[in-house]
Amino acid sequence: MRRRIGYVLAVVALVLGGAVVTGVMTPSIAAADECYTWNRVLQRGMSGSDVRELQIRVAGWVASGENLAIDGEYGPATEAAVKRFQSGYGLTPDGVAGTQTFNKIYELQDADCTPIHFDHSEFNYNCGARNYEGGKVPAATARENMRRVMWQLEALRHKLGDRPLVVTSGFRSVSCNASVGGSSTSLHMYGQAADLGLSSGPSQCQMWNGGKSAGFEELLGPGYPGHNDHVHVGNKASRFWSAPNC
Ligand SMILES: [Zn+2]
């Protein structure tokens, strides 16, 4: 919201100044839709890259145990996720992605297409390398996988009362993963997982339980070996949820 107000003030200032000059706005006050703009209303039965971009934004609004396919096809699962997103933000839950839905998404996204409460810098520490290099997939793939995780976390954050989720680990290269004692099959090496620390607003069990309906098929929490000081959330094809103390 602060960002949008800043943008409006910048425009007003330019207009009052009597001249519209392009290229003077800094990235911090850029239009919220600088990242991506949808040019048509989307609904069930449609397909395309614009559907895919929508699916990434609503991937955290699934039913418990569901993992939304990011396939560019606006099917029943996408429609249901859009309805939950709309309900979650107080919009009319009609399952059709039009102006209201896109405007809400524009409010929620930064210029680099990450959600407003999360940033790549929180996920690419990578043992100090500050990049997505050296994992099990190309860096661009890891970065894109991480963006999807961020949108799921944005949904989780909102559903848990808009309290901060503190990321203690995101992407890890193969060597970084080994050095911190990660599993040899860790999703962190694919950019498909994140760890949420104890300084987060919600409790460990709130985050672990909430992750079930945020599209995470891998959820590890208190009582699972090595997970008493964080909750691990990840995207994978088969489900593995464990937190004996929740
Ligand atoms: Zn983890």
CATH of the domain at 180: 3.30.1380.10
Return the structure tokens found at 76: 């029943």
Q: Judge if 191 and 160 occupy the same domain.
A: yes
76: left (phi over 0), alpha (psi -120 to 50) or beta: alpha
User: What's 42's domain CATH number?
Assistant: 1.10.101.10
- pLDDT tens, residue by residue, 65-124: 999 999 999 999 999 999 999 999 999 999 999 999 999 999 999 999 999 999 999 999
Give distance in angstroms: CA of 137 to centre of ligand 1: 17
Q: How many domains does the chain fold into?
A: 3
CA distance 245 to 224: 8
Return the structure tokens found at 165: 């989720």
Q: Judge if 137 and 94 occupy the same domain.
A: no
Give distance in angstroms: CA of 87 to centre of ligand 1: 30
Q: Judge if 52 and 86 occupy the same domain.
A: yes
Q: Judge if 165 and 211 occupy the same domain.
A: yes
Return the structure tokens found at 230: 């964080």
Q: Judge if 171 and 216 occupy the same domain.
A: yes
Q: Judge if 125 and 100 occupy the same domain.
A: no
Pick the catalytic residue from 158, 188, 227, 230: 227
End-to-end CA distance of the chain: give it in Å, rounded: 35
CA distance 67 to 214: 8
Q: Judge if 128 and 213 occupy the same domain.
A: yes
Domain boundary among 73, 93, 113: 113
Contacts of 214 (CB under 8 A, 6+ apart): 60, 61, 62, 152, 153, 155, 156, 159, 233
Q: Judge if 127 and 222 occupy the same domain.
A: yes
Helix (H, G, I), strand (E, B) or coil at 64: coil
Q: Judge if 238 and 164 occupy the same domain.
A: yes
Burial class (CB in 10 A: 0-12, 13-18, 19+), 187: buried
Domain boundary among 79, 113, 147: 113
- pLDDT tens, residue by residue, 183-230: 999 999 999 999 999 999 999 999 999 999 999 999 999 999 999 999
Q: What's the pLDDT score for residue 26?
A: 38
Which amino acid type is present at position 230? Answer: H
Enclosing domain of residue 131: 120-242
pTM listed for this prediction: 0.87
Q: Once rounded to an integer, what is the mean pLDDT over residues 154-167?
A: 98
Give distance in angstroms: CA of 244 to centre of ligand 1: 17
CA distance 88 to 66: 17
Q: Judge if 107 and 125 occupy the same domain.
A: no
pLDDT of 174 strictly over 80: yes
Q: Judge if 108 and 140 occupy the same domain.
A: no
Active-site residue, 227 included: yes
Return the structure tokens found at 91: 């919009």
Counting every residue written for the chain, the total comes to 246
CA distance 10 to 73: 38
Q: What's the pLDDT score for residue 35?
A: 87
Q: What's the pLDDT score for residue 17?
A: 37
* β-sheet bridge partners, residue 233: 194, 219
CA distance 59 to 74: 13
Give distance in angstroms: CA of 194 to centre of ligand 1: 6
Q: Judge if 219 and 135 occupy the same domain.
A: yes
Task: Give, in degrees to the nearest 5, the angle at Cα 83 between 117 and 89.
Answer: 40
Domain boundary among 113, 145, 172: 113
